Structure 1
């Protein structure tokens, strides 16, 4: 297994390196003159940035202070997002490149003023009609048609990628928006009609999303004045000692019936037992394959399936096996994939997260294929499944096409 993991890691790094080389070729080598400071700066960027990305990915396990991890994480994770959208934009540019080249050839007789990056600063010239496609006219350095096309396409690709990542970063750091959905439950009594559950998942407090982000999440949840708060996993990326200060604002969560918590897969990467104790110290109630009675329905929670490796996975018998089937049941489970177990145990509503809604398109396509529901409310037999896109972000603090949310699920009685 270790050999397979090492080979897989080597393969991933090789592909990542090759794609970075391809971007360097199109965005640096094809657009600059050898020996210029532009070529040297671009080359340095495409050497350093992939290294920083690898460091950011492995940085959580480094025995260094959180402040150091933050310094390492920001540039590395941001490059991962920029890299993705640069790659997509440059690939799209391969379609545009021949069309633009043909257009310029058809207008070859028209002189076009172009900037010169090699030579004197700020100098421009109007070249004579080119003798060959890539042979500049005699005189001061001038752009060949190929380099001109490369600069136009590369500049447009860089602008599109940076604009997309910039927008996705700002919207993520500003915190989640509030989403509201009404879910009718056949067994819910009239007395519980309108009961509001604030569902928050995938906050991912870390070296990047810290105490300030936790305060924004807390303020957003409290502004909805919920009856109950359900935190459905992936609260953190890091151990308790490291992130104790970051989670402190969450102590301020307020609701009529309290805050309930189930583990996500990332808790098992960060010390699940310690985090369960920490959230209990924050005043929350962990539901570790357990159930508690609300005034009008049963609230149950199961551990994440990532706990199976340590014998702490989901146990539906323990959480739901001996309950009264006449009462409505709401289940907290981090991953949507356990919905089929929820159906077998007569759950009326499952609340989940995990998917991030894909977080960054086109990863949405992969997340959609890997989960029964990517985001929103769907019906499976007699069980309804609601999946939140999550409040934070894993890795790059960037969301594109999958806005973050905190969802207020309002339960409705069919008897009302």
Structure 2
């Protein structure tokens, strides 16, 4: 690859780094706005990988760079240095990385005077190499998140979560049918819960079975709520807050009569596209969850909006775009959503409540308070007796607490809380 060929994805990655670290934007938001649209599919994947790897290693890159910087340069220059440092730590050829870093700085009048600095610093980083990088401490979670997690789980668990998040995430796949059949061509690892896990998967759309709709991308933990709901053919099931649609497709694959509701028009278009690709059927409705009042459902799946603190291993932009200030608003919204979802169930119906959060206030506490608000509401602890569920994941309230450090030897999983509630008959 020539330097010019490699510059496109690097410049796109730099733009996204500047937006995340400088403007507090999220990567899905930037990608949705077209940040990668000008690139080929292969370069898009590379730009996204460079961005996520740099964000994941940002604190470690800063530690390494601090040895060679007398003062902190402007943000965009700092992000060039961070990006190139992470590439060098990954074993990329020093000549190409250093030249690309200098070229990116040279292209802007505001930063072109710092070409010499960037060249000198990156050559010193290259001399340290992957060996110097490996000696640095694992990056910590931001204080606004680390503190409540230490209170909930203790320092040792938080340290293990940080290791899992720094390691990143493999590609997880949910098969439309038999995972063993799908894995004959994918050649991945089938996890105990049935998810197919691939390492170094490359471009998703080129994998066997994508075009024919045999599977979809979905973290192993995110696939468990539908397994707990155990949808049956012909059941009337509501997927509330459905986008991006992985759970909708799981429900539809069971033969249930599925209604998927979400407030995001753009994300619901994508749900529709994925349903079409996989040949699955569901009624999709773009509406605010509280505005949807059709009732009589046998079951409701509520993957409620939350802090998403359980997904940092896949979304390392989150610590830079959030500061914890929204916790109170989200917790109140989840409480209202549980009450609303229960009102849409027929008597005796079941509600699976889940959040991709590590915070007990967005999980265990929500269920405890829902039981206090609704007479006769119970937790169906037997629902979590599913294949592959480790007994250590169970909570005292009859739900599941999943953490990134679980299955650490296999590549971890997203943090989730999941519980099935039963409405009185």
Same fold, judged at TM 0.5 (above): no
**TM-score w.r.t. length of structure 2:** 0.35
**TM-score w.r.t. length of structure 1:** 0.36
Larger radius of gyration: 1
Higher relative contact order (CA 8 A, sep 6+): 1
